[in-house]
Amino acid sequence: MKNIGIKYYKMGLYTEKQFALFVKRGFVTEEEFKELTGQNYQEVMNQETI
Contact of 5 with 27, CB cutoff 8 Å? yes
Mean pLDDT computed over 15-34: 96
Instruction: Give residue 47's pLDDT band: very low, low, confident or very high (50, 70, 90).
Output: confident
pTM: predicted TM-score of the whole model, two decimal places? 0.85
Burial class (CB in 10 A: 0-12, 13-18, 19+), 28: buried
Mean pLDDT computed over 2-13: 93
